[in-house]
Amino acid sequence: MTLVEGTSFCVSALDGDIDPGAAHGLFVQDTRILSRWRLLVDGVPVDSLSAIGSEPFEATFVGRSAGRAQGLEPTVVVERHRLVAHGMREDVTLRNHGLEAAAVDVELEVESDFADLFEVKDGRHRGSRPVGRRAVGSDLVAWLEGPVSRGVRVSAQGAVAAPGRLRWSVVIEPGQEWTTTVEVVASVDGDEIAASFPLGAPVASSGPVRRMQGWRDSTPEIRVDDPALAHAIARSQEDLGALRIVDPEHPEDDVVAAGAPWFMALFGRDSLLTGWMTLPFAPGLALGTLRTLARLQGTRDDARSEEQPGKILHEVRLGADLSLALGGQSVYYGSVDATPLFVMLVGQAARWGASREEIEPLVPAVDAALAWILEHGDVDGDGFVEYARRTDRGLLNQGWKDSGDAMVHADGALAAAPIALAEVQGYVHAAYRARAFLAEHLGRPEEAAPWRARADALRRLFHEAYWLPELGTYAMALDRDKRPLAVVSSNVGHCLWTGIVDDAVADTVVERLLAPDMFTGFGIRTLGSGERGYNPVSYHRGSVWPHDTVLAAAGMAAYGRRDAATRVTDGLVDAASAFDGRLPELFCGFDRHDKPVPVPYPTSCSPQAWAAAVPFEVLRISLDLEPGGDGARVSAGHTEGRVGTVRIDNLAVGDDRLSVSADEAGVDVG
């Protein structure tokens, strides 16, 4: 069971216990402040009956105590109501359904190891840190000194504290109940983080509840005939609301964490693509992301963090042990694609009606990003943006396929850096066009022509260098020696999405993505099943990533192939249905004919931001929903595929709130 609120999250077993031998814990600012949390009744673990998640940050665990006498049913029901936000509050209730009073010993085992998130995720923590501990009255206190000291206080009503445990001895009359509340309060450098669910205050008035309700009120009401898509959209609205994180210094700007449980942090690429896919439905998410990334944009040259002037960050980490973070610092910039994606999203936000007052302050960051592309992104001056890590602490691969073995040649050999990814050239092409649009949009049309000329030149150069006529597709990348990675991959789907694909070969590219070695029936494989490097259970060499697939579908639709796009989006909706409406980060790349349901990838994040955004992009593609031109606020067409009738109320386009109704016959916008 995973509960999330902001950057804090709790991972436990379905009985509510946190096991130090598993990848469990309560995490605050990338540090595990609880490594054990085990409830015993009369010295025995509770027999679990159910776990009910009512909110992203709230769950109730129901169980029963062991029976006292042979042959008699247990009479004591145990309920644990858990709330997570910056810390944790747990209300423990025991109800006696027996005919006589129950004398019960209750014990809560508690440990804190202050392990770094990365250590827990990778199973590398060995408990070697010198953690201080003490038990005082009804409190347990633990702390870890360091450059940033961390601490935790566990307090419980009526408890007797002893090292590593809290105890209660109670008598519960027949038909009565006993309740206690346990608070877990985190601290940083001796300052306690204020509880989000303080004792004595109604949960309904808490910050997390109000923030979640505000999110629900601000997003459109969407009704779709297809029950599978309707369920996926509703689930995604909740998940995106849960994944939002806030900078306390700029609470007006919502951004999304990449995914739970292991990526509850700001990632540039993930947040930008999520903002793009949700822009028509939650524009504040895109604008908050853009403002936040602009504030953190690179200003200096630093090899360890890979920061450079104008570069957009890869990720932000807040952990106690930054030696484990990429580059050994809290902000890491080793991403080749976040910078052009930033420019693209600013342009798209303007197209969708963001005001001049919202767009104009972002233009300096846009121009700094474009300067990075031209001055630092193209390392060797060949016209393409490429990457190579600057120290051994950085990521080997710095596109979205960032696992170490993702970039392979046809013979299975790994490509050598610098590597120029196909999709990154597409992003740069789209960024140039976005800057041209912004020039005209902001009343400076004379600035547009040079950017369009750059885009046109890059499109021609890309086709010449990447097109593989024998494969009917573009190379996944160029390696250090400008040798194409001549494999069939999903990267080309992003090229369709960004418009860099030559019109003369667009249909060929679409059909290649729909061929049996690429399209599983649920989504598009990251690497074709006929390639030597293919592995359906790998991270990036044959798996299916929903965001990757839906961007390919968007590209197909943009090139006039709505038939192909519908086939792909229908597969994604079927996959979502198999995962109870929640698309995971990725799933295995087995063919649908062999495996009638998608096979989960074992360490996939769920919920995950850009996967949660996919149903919104499916809906947009199905409606052909686009920002309007010639004075129109939006344009849309009849629905395609399984969608049927759609009605969207409270759709935000600039300052307007619109209603859109569509079916197979047509569309009405009002």
* Bridge partners of residue 256, in order along the sequence: 244
First to last CA, the chain: 42
What DSSP character marks residue 524?
B
Asked if 295 and 179 sit in the same domain, the reply is: no
- What range defines the domain where residue 437 resides? 219-634
Rounded Cα distance between 539 and 27, Å, is: 25
Question: Of the candidates 237, 287, 246, 282, which has an alpha carbon nearest to the alpha carbon of residue 264?
Answer: 246
Q: Work out how many domains the chain is built from and give that number.
A: 2
Query: 271: helix, coil or strand?
Result: helix
50 burial (CB, 10 Å; 0-12 / 13-18 / 19+) is exposed
Of 200, 229, 255, which residue is a domain's last? 200
Share of the chain above pLDDT 90, in %: 84
Question: Of the candidates 581, 562, 545, 665, which has an alpha carbon nearest to the alpha carbon of residue 622?
Answer: 562
Asked if 169 and 258 sit in the same domain, the reply is: no
- Residue 634 Cα distances to 217, 351, 658, angstroms: 22, 10, 9
Question: Of the candidates 534, 559, 531, which has an alpha carbon nearest to the alpha carbon of residue 471?
Answer: 531
Is residue 383 included in any domain, yes or no? yes
Question: Of the candidates 109, 60, 52, 53, which has an alpha carbon nearest to the alpha carbon of residue 80?
Answer: 60
Whether 322 shows a pLDDT value over 50: the answer reads no
Asked if 155 and 224 sit in the same domain, the reply is: no
- The size of the chain, in residues, is 670
- DSSP secondary structure string, 340-387? HHHHHHHHHHHHTT--HHHHGGGHHHHHHHHHHIIIIISSSSSSS--B
Question: Of the candidates 589, 661, 654, 612, which has an alpha carbon nearest to the alpha carbon of residue 257?
Answer: 612
CB neighbour list of residue 403: distance below 8 Å, 6 or more residues apart: 397, 538, 539, 540
Asked if 359 and 388 sit in the same domain, the reply is: yes
Residue 354's pLDDT is 95
Q: Provide the CATH number for the domain around residue 559.
A: 1.50.10.10
Cα Rg for the chain, rounded, in angstroms?
26
Per-residue pLDDT band for 2 (boundaries 50, 70, 90) equals very high
Of 149, 172, 200, which residue is a domain's last? 200
Dihedral, 585, 591, 594, 599 alpha carbons, nearest 10: -10
Q: What is the pLDDT of residues 74-101, one digit of tens each?
A: 899 999 999 999 899 999 999 999 999 9
Contact yes or no for 331/307 (Cβ under 8 A): yes
Asked if 156 and 233 sit in the same domain, the reply is: no
Looking only at Cα atoms, what is the longest distance across the chain? 88
Residue 178's pLDDT is 98
Helix 338-351 and helix 363-372, axial crossing angle in degrees, nearest 10: 150
Q: Provide the CATH number for the domain around residue 48.
A: 2.70.98.40
Share of the chain above pLDDT 70, in %: 96
Q: Which residue's structure tokens are 């608070």?
A: 183
Residue 122's pLDDT is 76
Rounded Cα distance between 255 and 276, Å, is: 12
Whether 584 shows a pLDDT value over 90: the answer reads yes
Whether 468 shows a pLDDT value over 80: the answer reads yes
Is residue 483 included in any domain, yes or no? yes
* Bridge partners of residue 253, in order along the sequence: none
Residue 326's pLDDT is 46
* 645 CA to centre of own chain: 29
Residue 318's pLDDT is 62
Lowest-confidence range among 126-135, 462-471, 494-503, 587-596? Answer: 126-135
Dihedral, 183, 186, 189, 194 alpha carbons, nearest 10: -70
- Residue 115 Cα distances to 124, 148, 244, angstroms: 10, 13, 24
Asked if 248 and 389 sit in the same domain, the reply is: yes
Per-residue pLDDT band for 483 (boundaries 50, 70, 90) equals very high
Whether 397 shows a pLDDT value over 70: the answer reads yes
Question: Of the candidates 429, 430, 432, which has an alpha carbon nearest to the alpha carbon of residue 459?
Answer: 429
Residue 598's pLDDT is 98
Residue 629's pLDDT is 62
CB neighbour list of residue 21: distance below 8 Å, 6 or more residues apart: none
Is residue 659 included in any domain, yes or no? no
What DSSP character marks residue 138?
T
Whether 17 shows a pLDDT value over 90: the answer reads yes
Is residue 650 included in any domain, yes or no? no
Is residue 654 included in any domain, yes or no? no
The rounded mean pLDDT for the chain is 94
Q: What are phi and psi of 156, to 5 degrees?
A: -145, 140
Whether 492 shows a pLDDT value over 80: the answer reads yes
Asked if 189 and 251 sit in the same domain, the reply is: no
Asked if 240 and 364 sit in the same domain, the reply is: yes
Residue 119's pLDDT is 85
Asked if 180 and 255 sit in the same domain, the reply is: no
Q: What is the pLDDT of residues 285-321, one digit of tens each?
A: 999 999 999 999 999 999 999 999 999 999 997 654 4
Asked if 536 and 425 sit in the same domain, the reply is: yes
Asked if 99 and 232 sit in the same domain, the reply is: no
Average pLDDT over residues 546-568: 98
Q: What is the pLDDT of residues 410-458, one digit of tens each?
A: 999 999 999 999 999 999 999 999 999 999 999 999 999 999 999 999 9
Is residue 670 included in any domain, yes or no? no
Asked if 301 and 438 sit in the same domain, the reply is: yes
Average pLDDT over residues 53-70: 88
Contact yes or no for 369/339 (Cβ under 8 A): yes
Question: Of the candidates 121, 117, 142, which has an alpha carbon nearest to the alpha carbon of residue 131?
Answer: 142
**The one-letter amino acid at 441:** H
Query: 645: helix, coil or strand?
Result: coil
Q: What is the pLDDT of residues 244-270, one digit of tens each?
A: 998 888 999 999 999 988 888 899 999
Is residue 664 included in any domain, yes or no? no
Per-residue pLDDT band for 126 (boundaries 50, 70, 90) equals low
Average pLDDT over residues 24-51: 95
This model's pTM is above 0.75: yes
Question: Of the candidates 194, 216, 193, 220, which has an alpha carbon nearest to the alpha carbon of residue 206?
Answer: 194
Lowest-confidence range among 120-134, 280-294, 307-321, 612-626? Answer: 120-134
Q: Which residue's structure tokens are 């644990």?
A: 80
Per-residue pLDDT band for 554 (boundaries 50, 70, 90) equals very high
Per-residue pLDDT band for 635 (boundaries 50, 70, 90) equals confident
Is residue 117 included in any domain, yes or no? yes
Q: What is the pLDDT of residues 212-233, one digit of tens each?
A: 999 999 999 999 999 999 999 9
